[in-house]
């Protein structure tokens, strides 16, 4: 039997440290599913594991892409499953770790229903519609999903005149890298591994305090300088990210630096709430307090994989 140990939870809860402890115990590799740690230009603001942490266990999907690359959750799913299959040839265990629920779901079960789309993608599509009108959406759907466009043209042409529906079709295509029609009446994907899902949690004030401390550490590490370098590319999808957006507003003179830092903390706290809402909906996840000794979690995993 092959197992995929999945570690999830809110940002700054300690997922990286636990994943390394488990990887060392099971002598296995770590697959990252943090959708912002993919980008090599974003280090401090995405809390990429330190060089020491990266050296402590073999990691995949850490700073393997550029912010200038187009990279979708559909492409990630395909690449991650390929690497997991390769690793399972020589080890019964692989670890998947990160706080991006959409990417976790992509690996564990694929999309047997329409996925959540990144807000940055949705906003980009809406802005393009506002600027270019319905013909842009129609041409984009034709480009992304020719067969579905043809089907609508023949059987349901009024849908092609519905801006809300058309924006949805396009944002799904752009956000997942897959045609909208591929999600219709799709059977559940089979996986060649058994997932063992672990969640780390803490009381809300503890999570918020850890987030606030992490933001202060990032600023001390040079987040301001990192954001300054990225500012000329602020319109890229990858940079529509908490920690960068707020500093871009500061650079544009809209807010003070002190206010920008407080906004980063506030928006990160909000993000952590959305993460927990997403993951708490999965009854297969076994939750542990963030201070739990890794040995207890290792014992749980061994009990599930006998």
Burial 238-251 (b: 16+ CB within 10 A, else e): bbbbbbbbbbbbbe
Burial 47-81 (b: 16+ CB within 10 A, else e): bbbeeebbebbebbbbbebebeeebbbbbbbeebb
Whole-angstrom CA distances from 126 to 34, 134, 160, 169, 190 are: 26, 11, 16, 12, 35
- 164 pLDDT tier (thresholds 50, 70, 90): confident
* 14 assigned to a ligand binding site: yes
Is domain 3-110+189-304 given the CATH code 3.40.50.300 in the classification? yes
More confident site: 106 or 66: 66
* 101 assigned to a ligand binding site: no
- In tens, the pLDDT along 89-133 reads 999 999 999 988 888 988 998 865 677 788 888 888 988 998 899
* 228 assigned to a ligand binding site: no
The ranges assigned to domains in the chain are 3-110+189-304, 119-183
* 256 assigned to a ligand binding site: no
- In tens, the pLDDT along 231-261 reads 999 988 889 899 999 999 999 999 999 999 9
User: CA neighbours within 13 Å on the CB side: how many for 279?
Assistant: 27
- Predicted model pTM: 0.77
* 99 assigned to a ligand binding site: no
- 186 pLDDT tier (thresholds 50, 70, 90): low
* pLDDT at position 281: 82
- What is the rounded CA–CA span in Å between residue 25 and residue 19? 10
In the predicted model, is pLDDT for residue 53 greater than 80? yes
* 11 assigned to a ligand binding site: yes
Closest CA to 93 of 17, 14, 201, 7: 7
* 12 assigned to a ligand binding site: yes
Mean pLDDT for the chain? 92
In CATH terms, the fold of domain 119-183 is: Histone, subunit A (1.10.20)
């Amino acid at each position: 039997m092959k197992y995929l140990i999945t570690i999830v939870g809110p940002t700054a809860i300690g997922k990286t440290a636990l994943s390394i402890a488990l990887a060392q115990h099971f002598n296995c590799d770590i697959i990252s599913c943090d959708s912002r740690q993919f980008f090599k230009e974003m280090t401090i603001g995405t809390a990429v594991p330190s060089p020491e942490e990266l050296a402590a266990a073999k990691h995949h999907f850490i700073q393997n892409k550029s912010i200038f690359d187009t990279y979708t959750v559909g492409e990630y799913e395909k690449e991650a499953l390929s690497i997991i299959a390769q690793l399972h040839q020589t080890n019964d265990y692989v670890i998947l770790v990160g706080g991006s629920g959409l990417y976790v779901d992509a690996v564990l079960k694929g999309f047997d229903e329409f996925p959540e789309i990144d807000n940055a993608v949705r906003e980009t599509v809406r802005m393009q519609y506002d600027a270019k009108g319905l013909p842009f959406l129609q041409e984009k759907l034709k480009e992304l999903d020719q067969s579905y466009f043809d089907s609508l043209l023949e059987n349901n042409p009024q849908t092609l005149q519905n801006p809300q529906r058309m924006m949805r079709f396009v944002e799904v295509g752009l956000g997942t890298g897959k045609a909208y029609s591929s999600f219709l009446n799709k059977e559940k994907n089979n996986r060649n591994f058994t997932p063992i899902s672990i969640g780390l949690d803490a009381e809300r004030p503890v999570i918020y305090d850890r987030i606030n401390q992490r933001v202060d550490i990032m600023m001390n590490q040079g987040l301001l300088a990192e954001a300054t370098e990225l500012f000329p590319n602020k319109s890229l999808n990858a940079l529509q990210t908490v920690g960068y957006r707020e500093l871009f507003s500061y650079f544009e003179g809209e807010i003070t630096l002190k206010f920008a830092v407080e906004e980063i903390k506030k928006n990160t706290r909000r993000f952590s709430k959305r993460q927990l809402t997403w993951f708490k909906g999965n009854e297969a996840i076994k939750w542990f307090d963030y201070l739990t000794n890794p040995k207890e979690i290792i014992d749980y995993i061994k009990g599930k994989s006998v």
